[in-house]
Amino acid sequence: MDDATIAEERIDRLAAFARSMTRAGEDDLAREAVRLARRIAERHRCGVPRRFERFTCDACDAYLIPGRNARVRLQEGSHVVIRCDCGATERYPYR
């Protein structure tokens, strides 16, 4: 296995870990996992999966779970609006 595939596998594992820690209420461990996954992606120049990118807060590195620490709304036009508990807002287009 080359370094890129090892890095992608580790990012996937860290994303699953961050999701489970957020559900368990361990927000600090989830934030550390998100930071580590982003750092690995930068170091190995591979992107993070779209689901991981969309469900993490860029401002506070929280793993976002709708209804728990994030609000998800549909905006007229064609946007999904995700607001973190820290107040950061992201908008993504949809069809």
Query: Band of the pLDDT at 76, cuts 50, 70, 90?
Result: confident
Q: Compute the mean pLDDT over every residue in the chain, rounded to the nearest whole number.
A: 94
Residues in the chain: 95
List all residues 6 or more positions away from 64 whose beta carbon is below 8 Å from its beta carbon.
22, 55, 56, 57, 70, 82, 84
Range of the domain at 51: 3-93
The CB density around residue 65, as the number of other CB atoms within 10 Å, is: 14
The CB density around residue 78, as the number of other CB atoms within 10 Å, is: 10
Tens-place pLDDT, residues 10-56: 999 999 999 999 999 999 999 999 999 999 999 999 989 999 999 99
Give the total number of structural domains in the chain: 1
